[in-house]
Amino acid sequence: MAAAAAIEIPTKVLPNSTCELRVPVIGMGSAPDFTCKKDTKEAIIEAIKQGYRHFDTAAAYGSETALGEALKEARDLGLVTREDLFVTSKLWVTENHPHLVVP
């Protein structure tokens, strides 16, 4: 069976002070099934193969490590470059203190 062709997801231009960022308007959430983080990593790699380039995470989801590993593996496999990817994350208000934030 032939692999499905990746779809092209539309982008929205977000201007900033140095360039215009193209952000995919459709992204994949990475809140895992908390029983198996391995599945999260595999799902992200498959999403990249299918055309996803925007991923959402948060410290509270516990998916940051799996997302990072999947993005690195996809890059190492030549599926994407860092410039292809857009990652959105959130910091809960209870964690928004300088001594709790990793630089």
| CA 19 to the chain's CA centroid | 21
Q: Which residue has the higher pLDDT, 58 or 70?
A: 70
User: How long a stretch of residues is the chain?
Assistant: 103
CA separation, residue 64 to residues 1, 16, 44, 67 (Å)? 33, 25, 12, 5
Stated pTM of the model = 0.77
Active-site residue, from 44, 61, 67, 70: 61
For 1-27, what is each residue's pLDDT tens digit?
A: 445 556 788 888 887 767 778 889 889
Is there a catalytic annotation at residue 52?
A: no
